[in-house]
Structure formats: structure tokens, C-alpha cells
Structure 1
Amino acid sequence: MNSATSVASETLSQLESARALALSDAAYYNQIVPGVLPIIGAGANASLELRRWGADFLAETFASPTLGSEDKQRLSLQVLETLRENLETVDDTGVIKSVVQAAASIYPLVFRHILSNPNDVQNWQIMAAIKSNILRRMDSASPGIRICCIKFVQRVVQVETPGLIADPRRPEQNEISLALVPRDHPLIPPQNLEAEASGLLDRLLSILQEDTSDALLVTATLNSLGTLIRSRPSISNKIISTVLNFNPLKLANSPMTPKIKVMVKSMERTTRALLMNIIKKSPENPLNPRIHQYLERMHRMRLDVFDESNRKRPAPSEPTDGLDPAKRQRLGAEALSEPPSAIPPLPPGPVSFSQLFTLTRDEGAKNFDVQAIPSDLVVKILVPMLIRIDKGQMDNAINAVRARYLSLSKSQPRSAAEAAAIATGKAPLDEEDEYEPDYQPTEDTEQIINKLDNAPPEGLLPERVPDAPLAPFKLPQAPPLTEEQIEDYGGGTVRRVFGMMSTLDDSASRPKVPKPGFNRLAASSYDRDAWVTVISRLATRASTGLEAQPNIVKSEYKTVSRKGNFSISNTIREALFNYIMADWKRRIDVASSWLSEEWYNDRIQLEAMRAPAEDANGDGGNLPAPTLHYKKWILKLLDAILPYMDGKDKVMIRFLSEIPEVDRDVLDRVKKMARDPERVNLAIAVIHYLVLFRPPVREICLDALEDLWKNYDGAKTGSAKILTKWRPEVLQQEAMNGAHEDVKS
């Protein structure tokens, strides 16, 4: 016995090593699976541990996403007999669960094999025997096995129901469904499969229709229906209608034990998640209004069942002090505060602020140090306490403190000025004001606070020492930044701005909203377009005139001073260029906006230089020539984009139609595309568009077409059609030249 146990342990260790090897590289499954089948098969009299390991390994193999579908289909035919023997001879829950899971994974693979091999009767009979065995266990097995059977039934219904065909010419790449089965198939006639799928679907939905109390089966059924609803539109309405007729809270009518409470919550959450996913994935589904009504009804029922606070008696709103607790619900009177006689009198002698505001006789409360409580905790306690405090008690406490304060003010000795005024026989200025009326409970809190503000306490605190004059304080001047620091900080700022732009939604994912056009304010919407406007204007306008000559700044007094090599404008331009090239097809509008700003800035600088030169009194001759950036960056962008341009892309037509200026250098870049036979039509289309819709550059575009017609053989046909309308004399002259050469020859 010990020797058999040791042999089994050694075999399991070797099998685990093979499994680890297959997990590291899926290519080893093709060698390991056929090798382990004789060891784990039921016919080999293997031990229960080996069979459990084998069933788990097969289920893991066919569920692996790294193993190709062709390899899985080839291996599925080899394991069919092993799965059937385990189902028929082994009575172990772990083995049966893994075998059913493996069968659910290989059923579509065997189905596809039978489609291509209609004469393979043996393998299909084995698969049919496996299917019959699993369906017999669906109603009588343990809950764990029944959950696996539900997954198998869901897979069978999905395969035997018509699905969408993406490409009829490539059936091997389409989803496996009844739509791929020919009508005259000898082994799997479509009529029989469709009837079987309908019956299995009804059997699956019956779990929701029956008065079942097993939350595991209900949850497993709901989880399996989501795939059918999404992939099989022909049966989705039937499934959704069944789910809408299912009440996950029906068990709440029974005594609510903790177990039933967990079960009801589980079924309700799974049903809600399934229906919300349907609304999210199919917003145009005609059943969505019913789903919304169902979810609202479930929400109200859930609150009635689980929200116990709605069923509890609310706490009494009246205070408990001064009332008998037994009569609190019957009496409508408000609680009386402590009578004035209950407030302790002030001790003799000097009185502190603490003694003035202490109104309790509890020694523990008097000696408690409030400073020991953290300030954030004090704030959390005070705010709700002040909200719930009784207004009458608060007013009485304020009036008690006020009475104490007034009595203390009367008992204080007169000041030296008052004593001198009495000695000379002159009444002080505030003699009449010293009279204070008796306690008047009719005054409200705001009046008391105003009086306290107008009469500062004297004698309660020591006299305040006047503030000594303070000398002005200045922070030391920061040291000047070095060139390296300037470049580092400036580049970091630019990188952060472009990092934020990358996180914004692009034009394809943003909702389509009408733009105000020319009447809009620049950078007023805080989206990607607004940031592009801000950044491009920072690059073009922020430093206008500061880079007239390299490394030189012209001052107000016409003196020249050196500056560093770092230029924030050029840094932004380089970042804009890299940002566009990262996804140039989708960001071509950014390039158009940026180049428009560059062109406008160049025109403004040329006008600014031309104005002093035309002025008779101006000194325009000494102004340096401005640095123009438009042409440099448009050519750089074209040189970077054109190598990646496809012959079917229309982005170049849009780009050249939106940029502000097109010259011969730009057209020379476009003509270079004609060297590629696949892009010659694109080059002609771009130039033709400019001829039609940009009259100012029509002549240079026609010159470019004429050059294409003369020097590029592949462009003769396309360019000749355009030149026939716009420059027929070129074609006529060429024809005459050809005729003269024929005559000479």
C-alpha cells in the first residue's frame, strides 16, 4: 500500500512539472496532452488523485487563451474517449465538474470538425454520448455539478443557434453557430439542432420560472444568459422577457434568516447587473423601457425589504431633560431648561474667562482638558452638536453668561479718569451710560452679542501691552537661474502641458457639438482645441521680436545684449511637431491650426518691419529681418508625413486645403509622391483639388501638373485629363512636336 502511494505521489510530481512546462509555453500542450492521456484515463485503472489531476488539466488546457484554436481542435478529438469514460465510470464530484467544464470548451471545436468532416460518425457519437450524460445530471446532481452543466447547456445553445456571419468566404474565421451548417449535412441536420437548442434554452430558462430557492443555480443561470443575449439576437428578446418576469426578491416573503438574506441579495444584484449591462451594450434595444421600469420596481422593493431604518420608529424629537421618559410620547410640552437658580454663582475675587462661561456643577466636566482632543475631531463633533442643540437652552445659557458679565462690570472699581472727574465735580461723559437695566429675557441673542461687542471686559484680563513697531521684512532675493535650469524648467512645463493634452478626448470620442466659428473666444471651452490654440499662440506670439537674431536681444536703447540658447517658442514648436507625428492622421487639424498661427505671426512681423521703413522719419533700415517659421515647419511636416502616406488617404487633400499658403516648395513635395506608382493618383487628386478650390495658387498648381505630365510616365493619363480643360495648348504643342519629329524621321 505504501509503495502504491509513493508511486502515485511521484507520478503526480512529474505531472505537475509537465503542467508547469505547458503553462510557461503553450506549444508544449501538443506533446504533453497525448502523453498524459494513458496515465489519467479511466481504462488505465488510475487512482482517484490521478483522475482528478487529469480532469483539472484537461479543463485548464481547453480554457487556456494562449493555445491556438487549431491546436485545441486537434487535441479535442484525442480526449473525447477519456472524457466519456470518466463520466461513465467515475463517481467523484471533482472529476465530474472538471470533465463537464472541458466538454463545454471542446463542444464548439468538435462541432466545427464535424462541419468539415461529415463522415466522421465515431467522434460525433462519442460527443453525443457525453452530451446526453451531462444533460441527465443537470436536474439530479449536486449543486456544483449542476452549475457546470448550466455552462455546458449555454455553450450548446450558443453553438446550435444561428449567429452572424462576418465573412461567408472564410467560414473558418466566423463564429461557430448553426448558420455555418449546410442544410443537407448527414450528421447534424439544422432542423434537429435548432429544435434541440430551443428545448435546451427552455430548460435553462425554467430555472428562473420555477419556484427554486437555490441561489447558486439562479446566479449561474443569469451569468450564462449574458453571452447568449449579446451574441444571439434571435433569442435575446425571449431571454430578456423571461428575466423581466423573474422576481429575485420572492424569498423575502419567508422568515428573513441571515442565509435567506444573503441569497436574496445575491440574486437581486446579479439580475440588476445583467439588465444594466444589456442597457449599456444595446442602447437601441426596444425592450430598454421595460428594463428601466423593472429596475425601478426592484429598487423600491429592495428598499422595502432591506432598509430597516424605514420600518423603525423615529427617535423622539423633544428633549428628555425635565420630562418623565414614560410620558415623553404623550406629552407635547417642551423640556424646561435649568432654572436660573440652578446656575452656580461665581466665586469671590478675580474671575477668569473659564469661570465666567462655566454653567455646570459637574466637577468632571469642569476639570476636563478640551485641548487634549484633536482639532479635526472637535470640528466633527461641534458641527452636528450645534445643529441639534435646543434654541431655548442656548438662549438661556447666553443670558446667564450675560447676567454674570454685567454684574462683574458693575462691581469693577472706577478708572483714574472717572475718579478725577468726580473729584472736580464734573460728570463723566458716559455717566448715564453706566446705568444698566435689569435682566430682560425679551432680548434676543443678536442684541446681547452687539452689547458685548460694544462693552469690552475690564478687569477680567490683564491690560494689553501695545504692540511694538516692527521693522519691514523682505525675503532675500533668489539667485538667478542658470541656462541649464531655465531650459529644464521650461521644457518640463511644456511637457506637462502636452501630457495634459494627451489625456483629453480627441475629436472622434467627443460628442458632436456645433462650434461658434469665428465669433468664438479663443480657448474658452477648455477642450483639446482650446489648448491647441493657447499653445500655438504661446509658440508664435509670446516671444515675437525676441528672436530677431540668434542669441541677441535688442533693447529699448538700441543696445545689444547676449542671451541664452534656450527658446521657449522653439521648444513648444518641437513639442507640437512630435505631438502631431505621434498620430498624424487624427491630429492633422492640430497641424492646420498651428500653421495658421505661424503664418499669421509671420505676416504681422513683416508688416511691423515694413511700417518704419516706409515712414520718412523712421529708422527702419537698422531693424533686423524677422525670423519666419511658417515655411520651415510646413516643409518639415510634409517631409515627415509623406513617407507614411497611403495611396487611399485623403488627409493630404484636407491638409493642403486648410493651410493658409501653398507655394512651389510645397507642391514639389506633393510631386514626389508621383514617383510611387501606388500614390501617383493621390498626387494628381491633391493638385486637382487645389486647382478647383484655391484660385490664387491655380497657376503654380497647373505648372506642377504640366511637369507631372512631361516628366512622370505614370501621371500622364490623370494629368492629361486636367490639362485638357485648363491648358489645352500644352497638349497641342506636345502633339505638334511629336508630328514634326515623325516627319523628320
Structure 2
Amino acid sequence: MGSPGDITNTLQHLNAARNIALSDSSLYSQVVPGLLGVIGVDAQLELRRWGADFLAETFASPVLPGEHKQKLGIPVLDTLKGFLDKPSEDASVIKGVVQTAASLYPYIFRHIIANPADDATWQKMSSIKSSILARMDTAPSGVRICCIKFVQKVVLVQTPGLIADPRRPDQNETSLALVPRDHPIIPPSNLEAEASGLLDRLLGVLQDDSSNALIVTATLNSLGSLVRSRASIAKKIVATVLNFNPLRFAGPHLSSTEKVNIRSIAKTTIAFLTNILKRMPTNPLNGRIQQYVERLKHALVDAFDEASRKRPAPSEPTDGLSNAKRQRLGAEVPGSQPQYPPLPPGPVSYAQLFALTQEAGLKSFDVNAIPFDLVLKIVPPLLASIDKSRFDNALDAVRARYLSLTQIQPNDALSAARHATEAPPLSADDDEDYEPDYPVEDAEQILNNLDHAPADDMDGMRPSDVALGPFSLPPPPPLSDEEAVECGRGAVTRVFGTLVALEQNPATKTQKAGLNRLAATNHDRDAWITVISRLATRSSAGLEEGMIKSEYDSGHSLTRDGFSLSNAIREALYTYVIEDFRRRIDIAISWLNEEWYNDRIQLQQAGEGSPASPQYEMWMLRILDRIVPFLDAKDKVLIRFLSEIPSINESVLQRVTRLAKDPERVQLAMNSIYYLLLYRPPVREICIDALEDLYKDYDDAKTSAGKLLAKWRPQVLETAQPNGTS
């Protein structure tokens, strides 16, 4: 037996080694094998305790990789078995050993799956398992809690789990599903039967009349992960918990310790079931679980709420004063408001309206005698010191007085007009001799009647003599060419800024689709696109019969110094579409339709055979040339674009056929031409010409093009056959 000084020195060195391993997890592979000889079965009790805690901490560490734990766990089994086989071993040592075995069991199980010939390692693990299960019912409470954790790990491993990826078994959870049916050491049928028996043993803690709060709480906590991870046994576990009554031992004659234990078990049961409701919302037992939880909560309150069994305390005011006492003490009764004097009969002045006191001295005091600077110093602190409730009551009293005065019926038309438009006549003279019964009119009708009455001369001058003449603002100065160009560019920028904002925050569509719909009625993205595209096209076509057409006919042009508003909008539209053409292809199609319509109207107005400036073909080909290099084999943007633009010519199909130069995009070109061939009969002939070019010039497209030409133009195949054979 070593001296206390030697043991203290050894523990210091062990703690230093532990700190080194904690700082770098890769050093565990060097530290653990070196410490097994120091903390072995024959070591001192302090060293064995330290060693058991260290091993439990090591194999539960989340920073140590699983493959390292599996490699280190095999030599550690001998040390764990020696601790368990030693008679009357210390309970703290056994606790650490059982915790280590619980952490090691999945890794040893996986090692045996991969190494079916390593029977010795499995025999050691089986011996450790048997020793732990033998202690489960007779050991102290701390050891039994660790044994419950070990049993939970065994049931978790020896029950089939989900296989996330069958091709990578190393990434799947360790469970019975990974064990081959013909495994020589761990046959799955035997292990599954053992797991079922251990689960029944674990659930037996809830089924027996056990009042040990530590064991019952540990069992409930261990069942939570089994319910979440193993659906095959979840229903059995939940049904057992629903049949468990944690308040079976509750009674009127319980000690404080027993009350705390029962309440702890009940709250753990409620937390266990509530967690199932949150994590498994589709569980078919959720209805029963919810009813059980509510019933258990009410039973818990009825069993331990002592306040409901006592006579309730008398209700007392919060400040310690009742209404009867307030009268004797001179305190203010809550809810009582001070009584303000009513207004005197007859005319009322502003002073009388705001006077809320009956003291004659205060009423006769002239505040004008106080200097103004002194008033500024006195009033703010006075306002800050006034009680808010009393101040509100005073305001309500003045407001009530004012409303009562406004409801007095006016005596004549002029007073009625002033009464309806201005403040009430507080000091007007009342003529009670004659009060005609006027019909009820509003202020506007009364004033209109007064306006039509004959006006009296004021010093011989009528209002018409002093009326002002007409007034107009001077016209703004004309813009220079540079200013006009700059304003035009700024307008285009603002227009597209609005379009970007509408695209980021789309508005709710309330307009129904159909032929009878208007082009732009809502302030949304589609309506703004219509406005922009028509600004670009119709401003130069002269479609409107108003200002734009008259300016066009009179020779005024929208172009200054090479700047055209229409072309500026077109360039901005083109840039906007190309920036994200897959999402904005509908904008391009809508714009090109407007351009095609513009070209047709211009051609009609200029007359047949007259030169025109077509815009549709130029912008359509520019968009097509820009998006074609970015199309892939599975892209459907090209087919949509070709199917919805109003006109297609040979130039378009030449660009489509050039896609066949790329072997990966041959099918895209074929699909596009085949779609036009089927659904756009007006361009069928030029589509067949494009197929013929593909058949003759592109070897990768020869097979696909030949199948279509055999139906639509078989003579091409007949003429090409002799050349092919020669």
C-alpha cells in the first residue's frame, strides 16, 4: 500500500495527463493505454475511482471520433471486467465502469459486425453485460441508475433501426439492422429476443409498485430516446406509460420527502408525454396522451394544492385602507371624482368656461400681474406636480361644459352660420322675444343662403370693385438639347427602377384573365411591362390621336442629338431581359409582340412598298443571339420563346440549326424545330428546310433529322441514298 504522499503525487500526474488529452483529443490514443496499468484492479481505491471517472469521461466525449473509441475500447474491456469481477468493489468505481460500458457497447457491437471471427472480444462484452444486469436490482441507487442507462443502450443497439444509406454502412446508426442474418457470433434473432426481454424489465419499473423516485425518473428519461429512435417499440412504451399512475401513493398523511418524490415523478411523466406530442405530431396515440396529461395535471393540483383546502383570506385593499377607513382618515376614496360647479345661466365667457373653483379670491385674481418670466419658471413645475387622474377629471369637466354649450340652438341665421363654422358664441346676447322655428340646415346651406342675400355697401365700395384680375404663372424656360437628353435618360432610369421594385414586391392580382381584360389596370409588374413596351413602340408609330401624333405630323421629333426616347427604352428593356432571361422571357415575348404590331401599323400607314424601319426582327435576333450561347440541353426557354413570338423567318432557324454544332445540344435544336413543325403550320416549310440542312451538314443530327424527313420530305433521303452508298 503506497503512502498518502505517493498517491497525491500520482493523482497530480494523472490530472496533468488528463488535461493534455482534453486539450487535444488526438492524444487519447496515447494517454489511455498508458494509464490502464496505473488504474488497474490492483491499484489504490483513489486511483481506481479516478480511473473509472476518466474512462467514463473519455468514451462519452463528443470530440473523440467514433473510430478511435472503437479502437481504444477493445483493450479497456479487460480493465472493466476486472473491476466488475472484484468482490465488494467500491460503488463509485462500479458507477464509472457501468457508464463506460454503456458508451462502449455500440462500438464493440459494430466491431463484432465487421470482425465475425473476434469471438474473444464479444465474450468479454457479454460477461460485462451479465455482471451489470445482475446488479440492476440489488445495487445502490446510484449504480442502478447507471445500469438503467446501460440497458437502454443495449435495447437501442439490439433493436432494428432505420438505414439511411445502404451503400455506406459506416454512416448508418448502429442497430440490429446492420447485422447479417448468418452472423456466427451475434445471431439477430437471439439479440432481438434479448432486447425485448430487457425492455420488459425496464418497463417493469413502471408496472411494479415502485416508490423510488430516482429509479422511476431515470427509467422515464431513458425511455425518451427509445421512443424517438425506434418506432417498432414506441407504441409499447407509450402504452405502458399511459397505464402508469404516478399518484398511486398520494395520500393525506405523507411526509414532505414523499410529497417531493411523488411530485417529481408526476412532472417527469408529464414532460415525457409532452415531448412526444411535440416531436411526433402524427402519432395515433396523441389523443390519449393529451387526455392523460390534462387529467394528470388536474390530479396533481387536487392532491398537493393545500391552498384550495383552506379558507380563503379576506380580500383587502392593496394599500391597506378600506372605504370606511378612508372617511375617518380623510383619504380619497377610489373612484370618487371632485364635484365642479355648474355653469351660470345666460351668456358664458371663456373665463367662466374654464373656472373649476368656487373661491371668489381665485376667480378675481388677475394673472396678468405676474411677470412673464416668472410665469415661465412657475408653470412647468406646477404641471409636473399635478396628479394625472385629477388633471384628467378637470379636462373631462371642461369638455363636458363645452359640448353642452355647442348643443344650444342658435337664434338667427348669422349665429347659426358662426355656430357651424367657428367656436360657439359664448357671450352672444339672447333675444327671447321672438324665436322663429328654423328648419334644420347644415352650415354649408346657411352660408350659401347668406351669400345670395344683397350685400350692404361698406363705405360706398362693393366687393366686386376690389376683385383681383386673372393671374397666370410665366411659362418655364425652354430646355436645351443637353438638358432634354438628360431628362429623357433620367425618366427611363426611373421607369425601370419602378419595374425592379414591383418585381421584388409583387402586388396581389385582382384582374381576371381573358380576351375582354384591359392591358394595364393594376399597378403590378405585368401592367408596368405593358406601359414600358408601348412607350417604346407606339410613341414613334403615331398610333395615338392626341399630342404625340400632332407632334409627329408637325415635324417635331423625339430625337435630339442622337438620343431617341424610344430607342433608349428599347435598350433598357433589352438589358433588363438579358440580365435574367430565364425568369424574364415573358417580358421579352410581350415586348416583341408590341414591336411586331408597331411594324405592321407603320407599314400600313406608310403604304405598301414604302420604306419602313422594322424594329421587331432586329431586337428579336439580338435577344436570340444573346441567349443561345447560354442554353443547355434540357433548357425549355428556347421552345417557349419560338412558340410565342409572333413571326419566325429563316434567320431564326439558322441560329437554331447552328446549335447542332455542339453534340450536347443537338437534341435541343431537334426538339425546337419539331415543335414548330407540329404547332406552327405557317413556318412548316422553312422548318423542313432547316431539317434538311441538319441532315446534310451535321452528322450528330443525321439520325434524328432523317426520321422527321422520312415523314415530311422523303425525297431528300432518296436522293441522298446513292451518295451514301457510293
The number of equivalent residue pairs is 582
Q: Deviation at 1:167?
A: 6.2
Summarize the alignment of residues 70-469 of structure 1 with structure 2, pairs less than 5 Å apart. 70-88=67-85, 96-141=94-139, 145-165=143-163, 174-212=172-210, 217-218=215-216, 220-247=218-245, 264-279=266-281, 283=282, 285-294=283-292, 297=295, 346-351=358-363, 372=384, 429-430=429-430, 432=432
Deviation track 1:205-263 (CA, whole Å, cap 9, x = no partner) reads 23443455566655554454344334433223212322333456767766786776566
Distance 2:681 2:112 in 1: 66
How far, CA to CA, are the matches of 1:215 and 1:352 in structure 2? 82
Q: Is the 8 Å Cα contact of residues 251 and 264 (structure 1) preserved in structure 2?
A: no
CA contact (8 A) 2:247 2:262 kept: no
> Do 2:217 and 2:265's aligned partners in 1 also have CA atoms closer than 8 Å?
no
Larger radius of gyration: 2
Judged with a 3 Å threshold, the aligned counterparts in structure 2 of structure 1 residues 713 and 217 are, in CA distance, closer, same or farther, namely farther
1:39–1:50 CA contact under 8 A, matched in 2 = no
Q: What residue number does 1:390 align with?
A: none
- Distance (Å, rounded) in 1 between the aligned partners of 2:519 and 2:82: 72
- Does residue 607 of the first structure (1) align with residue 597 of the second (2)? yes
- Local SS of the residue matching 2:79: helix
Asked if structure 2 preserves the Cα contact closer than 8 Å seen for 1:545 and 1:626, the reply is no
Residue deviations 1:135-166, cap 9 Å, x none?
A: 33444555555444333322221222233456
Whichever residue aligns with residue 158 of structure 1, its letter is: L
Q: Which residue of 2 aligns with 1:16?
A: 19
Cα gap change, 1:49 to 1:116, in 2 (>3 Å): closer
User: What are the Cα deviations for residues 335-374 of structure 1, in whole angstroms up to 9, with x where unaligned?
Assistant: 9979989999732223499xxxxxxxxxxxxx99795499
Distance 1:242-1:703 versus aligned 2 partners, 3 A rule = farther
In structure 2, relative to structure 1, the CA distance for the partners of 1:291 and 1:92 (3 Å cut) is same
Q: Which amino acid aligns with 1:149?
A: C
Cα RMSD after superposing both structures: 6.2
1:310 Cα deviation from its structure 2 partner: 9.2
1:398-443 alpha-carbon deviations (Å, 9 max, x no partner): 699979x99xxxxxxxxxxxxxxxxxxxx9841559xxxxxxxxxx
Relative distance call for 1:184 and 1:496 in structure 2 (3 A) is same
* 1:129 CA displacement: 1.9
Q: Deviations over 1:11-31 (max 9, x none)?
A: 422442233222xxx5x6555
Who is 1:54 aligned against? Answer: 54
Provide the residue aligned with 1:660 in structure 2. Answer: 644
Pairwise CA distance, 1:51: 1.1
- Secondary structure, counterpart of 1:206 in structure 2: helix
Once the 2 structures are TM-superposed, how far is the Cα of residue 197 of structure 1 from its aligned partner?
Answer: 0.9
Work out the CA distance in 2 between the residues paired with 1:520 and 1:290: 57
CA distance in 2, matches of 1:306, 1:368: 57
* Partners of 2:301 and 2:514 in 1: CA distance: 53
* Cα distance, 1:371–1:306 mapped onto 2, change above 3 Å: farther
Shift of 1:126: 1.0
Q: 1:298 to 1:51 in 2, by over 3 A?
A: same
Of 3-12 and 104-113, more deviation after overlay is shown by 3-12
Q: CA contact under 8 A between 1:691 and 1:697: conserved in structure 2?
A: yes
Q: Which amino acid aligns with 1:348?
A: A
- Corresponding letter in the other structure for 1:159: V
- Distance in 2 of aligned mates of 1:486 and 1:42: 90
Q: Name the CA distance, whole Å, in 1 between partners of 2:152 and 2:533.
A: 65
Distance 1:251 1:270, change over 3 A: farther
Name the CA distance, whole Å, in 1 between partners of 2:304 and 2:686: 79
Q: Is the 8 A contact 1:540 1:597 kept in 2?
A: no
* 8 Å contact from structure 2 (residues 536, 570) kept in 1: no
TM-aligned CA deviation for residue 50 of structure 1: 4.6
1:193–1:217 distance in 2 versus 1, CA, 3 Å: same
Q: Which residue of 2 aligns with 1:363?
A: none
Read off the aligned partner of 2:80 and give its amino acid letter. L
* Cα distance in 2, alignment partners of residues 161 and 520 from structure 1: 67
Deviation string for 1:628-664 (max 9, x for gaps)? Answer: 766555654553352xx6xxxxx52587357634843
Closer, same or farther: CA 244–102 of 1 in aligned 2, 3 Å: same
Change over 3 Å in CA distance of 1:32–1:293 after alignment to 2: same
Q: Does the CA-based 8 Å contact 1:162-1:179 persist in structure 2?
A: yes
The CA deviation string for residues 84-143 of structure 1, in whole angstroms up to 9 with x for no partner, is 345555956665555444433432332233234333221001111222233334445555
* CA distance in structure 2 between the aligned counterparts of 1:483 and 1:7, rounded to whole angstroms: 88
The answer (yes or no) to whether the contact 1:536–1:594 under 8 Å persists in 2 is no
TM-superposed CA distance for 1:78, in Å, is 3.5
Amino acid paired to 1:13: A
Is this contact kept in 1: 2:638–2:672, CA < 8 A? no
Which secondary structure state, in structure 2, belongs to the residue aligned with residue 149 of structure 1? helix
After TM superposition, the structure 1 stretch with the greater mean CA deviation from structure 2, 236-245 or 169-178, is 169-178
TM-superposed deviation, 1:2? 3.9
Separation of aligned partners in 2, 1:667 and 1:31: 68
Opposite residue 13 of structure 2, the aligned amino acid is E
Q: Structure 1 pair 192/576, CA: closer, same or farther in 2 (3 Å)?
A: farther
Distance 2:428 2:504 in 1: 74
Among 734, 737, 740, which residue is 2:720 paired with? 734
Take 2:516 and 2:301, find their aligned partners in 1: how far apart are those partners? 49
What is the TM-score normalised by the length of structure 1?
0.59
- Secondary structure, counterpart of 2:203 in structure 1: helix
Cα distance in 2 for residues equivalent to 1:523 and 1:271:
59
Distance in 2 between residues matched to 1:544 and 1:124, nearest whole Å: 83
CA change 1:657–1:38 in 2 (3 A) is: farther
Letter of the structure 2 residue corresponding to residue 602 of structure 1:
L
Q: 1:595 aligns with which of 585, 592, 598?
A: 585
Gaps of 5+ in 1: 326-334, 354-366, 387-393, 407-426, 434-479, 505-514, 549-553, 581-590, 646-650
Q: Using the alignment, how far apart are the partners of 2:215 and 2:539 within structure 1?
A: 76
Structure-2 separation of matches of 1:171 and 1:263: 40
Q: Could you say which residue in structure 2 is the equivalent of 1:328?
A: none
